């Protein structure tokens, strides 16, 4: 009887983890609280389906009032998770922090679609997508620069081209990577 | 005959003094009629107390719902801001990649 109770409690405790793992396209982002303390600026966003629906309920529109475009982009999204940290000095995060995420992207289904490496400035941006037939179940963006680390995980399908077109129209302060190297300093590789 | 009747009428309608404590008796009667009896008080209480309690409960539920609505609206606005910020960060990084790819494909541009 006691064993059954313990097993039941364990099963109940494991449910949230199992639910998370069962959601295709969702990455288990490590606990970056240590980085958050060191960072000059940090963004920690976790929008699950219920919060996304709540956000949609207040009406989404960009600065230009083009709400339809934004709504079109977010239509297929089931969750969006962002961790972004800017540091005063280079090298304040370790590669192990990134490796924990990259390891999950080796799982079947995830494909790197674009990878840019700025050798001179040390800026690297990698974009992965999780495909299920013709459907996209998730997107992962890892942007690592000497003074900045950004990880974006979008669960669900999203048109990256449409999302790119919305740049600078959201009316929120930017802390995105600045890749202002000369054309020669940027070596980019793209694969589809 | 009519004299007898007239005398009887006069006897019946003769002036009589109400007595010295007449006004006191009237006032006492009025007071006792105005003040509710304990039984009447119980009835009044039994009618108004539940109604007052129900009104209080309804008002409390209303206030809680209003507060909940305000909190939901606050959470929704916060979620919206976070969504816009998340999309902005994602969009910025995608454009960085696009720019880098465009540069790599066409270095002379």
Q: What is the pLDDT along chain A (192 residues), one digit of tens a residue?
A: 565 666 656 555 554 454 445 688 999 999 999 999 999 999 999 999 999 888 888 776 555 566 777 788 888 899 999 999 999 999 889 888 889 899 999 998 999 998 888 888 888 999 999 988 888 889 999 999 999 999 999 999 888 888 887 776 655 445 444 443 333 333 334 333
CB pairs under 8 A between A and B: 138
The whole-angstrom separation of Cα A49 and Cα A79 is 5
The ipTM estimated for the assembled molecules is 0.74
Can you tell me whether residue B38 is helix, strand or coil? Answer: helix
Contacts of B70 in chain A (CB under 8 A): none
Interchain CB distance below 8 Å, A186 and B100: yes
pLDDT in tens, B42-101: 777 777 888 899 999 999 999 999 999 999 889 988 998 899 889 889 988 888 888 888
User: In this predicted structure, what is the pLDDT of residue B102?
Assistant: 84
Interchain CB distance below 8 Å, B72 and A160: no
Q: Which of A167, A169, A178, A182 to substitute to test the interface with B, most B CBs within 10 Å?
A: A167
User: In this predicted structure, what is the pLDDT of residue A130?
Assistant: 93
Both tokens of A103, joined, read 């390891």
Interchain CB distance below 8 Å, A74 and B83: yes
Nearest-Cα residue of chain A relative to residue B104: A188
Both tokens of A4, joined, read 């059954």
Interchain CB distance below 8 Å, B93 and A54: no
User: In this predicted structure, what is the pLDDT of residue A156?
Assistant: 92
Interchain CB distance below 8 Å, A152 and B80: no
pLDDT in tens, B2-50: 788 898 888 888 887 877 788 888 888 887 776 667 777 777 777 788 8
pTM score of the predicted model: 0.68
User: In this predicted structure, what is the pLDDT of residue A155?
Assistant: 94
User: In this predicted structure, what is the pLDDT of residue A43?
Assistant: 93
Cα atoms found within 13 Å of the Cα of residue A41, Cβ hemisphere only: 11
Interchain CB distance below 8 Å, A47 and B86: yes
Contacts of B97 in chain A (CB under 8 A): 114, 116, 125, 127, 188
Contacts of A98 (CB under 8 A, 6+ apart): A142, A144, A149, A151
User: In this predicted structure, what is the pLDDT of residue A21?
Assistant: 54
- The answer to whether the CB of A32 falls within 8 A of the CB of A71 is no
- The answer to whether the CB of A115 falls within 8 A of the CB of A127 is yes
Contacts of A64 (CB under 8 A, 6+ apart): A169
User: In this predicted structure, what is the pLDDT of residue B58?
Assistant: 95
User: In this predicted structure, what is the pLDDT of residue A63?
Assistant: 54
Of A58, A150, A179, the CB nearest to B80: A58
Interchain CB distance below 8 Å, A84 and B95: no
Nearest-Cα residue of chain B relative to residue A186: B100
């Amino acid at each position: 009887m006691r064993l059954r109770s313990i097993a039941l409690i364990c099963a109940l405790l494991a449910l949230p983890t199992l639910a998370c793992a069962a959601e295709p396209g969702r990455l288990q982002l490590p606990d970056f609280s240590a980085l958050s303390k060191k960072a000059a600026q940090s963004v920690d966003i976790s929008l699950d389906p219920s919060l996304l629906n709540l956000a949609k309920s207040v009406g989404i529109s960009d600065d230009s009032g083009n709400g339809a475009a934004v709504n079109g982009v977010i239509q297929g999204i089931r969750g969006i998770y962002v961790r972004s940290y800017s540091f005063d000095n280079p090298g304040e995060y370790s590669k192990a922090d990134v490796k924990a995420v990259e390891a999950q992207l080796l799982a079947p289904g995830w494909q790197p679609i674009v990878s840019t490496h700025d050798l001179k400035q040390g800026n690297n941006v990698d974009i992965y997508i999780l495909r299920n037939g013709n459907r996209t179940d998730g997107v992962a963006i890892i942007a690592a620069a000497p003074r900045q680390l950004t990880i974006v995980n979008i669960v669900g399908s999203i048109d990256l081209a449409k999302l790119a077109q919305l740049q600078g129209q959201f009316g929120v302060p930017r802390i995105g990577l600045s890749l202002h190297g000369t054309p020669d300093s940027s070596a980019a590789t793209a694969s589809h | 005959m009519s004299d007898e009747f007239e005398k009887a009428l006069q006897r019946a309608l003769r002036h009589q003094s109400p007595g010295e404590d007449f006004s006191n008796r009237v006032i006492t009667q009025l007071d006792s009629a105005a003040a509710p009896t304990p039984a009447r008080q119980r009835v009044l209480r039994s009618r108004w107390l539940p109604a007052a309690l129900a009104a209080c409960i309804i008002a409390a539920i209303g206030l809680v719902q209003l507060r909940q609505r305000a909190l939901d609206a606050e959470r929704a606005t916060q979620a919206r801001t976070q969504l816009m910020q998340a999309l902005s960060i994602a969009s910025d990084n995608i454009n960085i990649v696009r720019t880098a790819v465009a540069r790599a494909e066409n270095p002379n541009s």
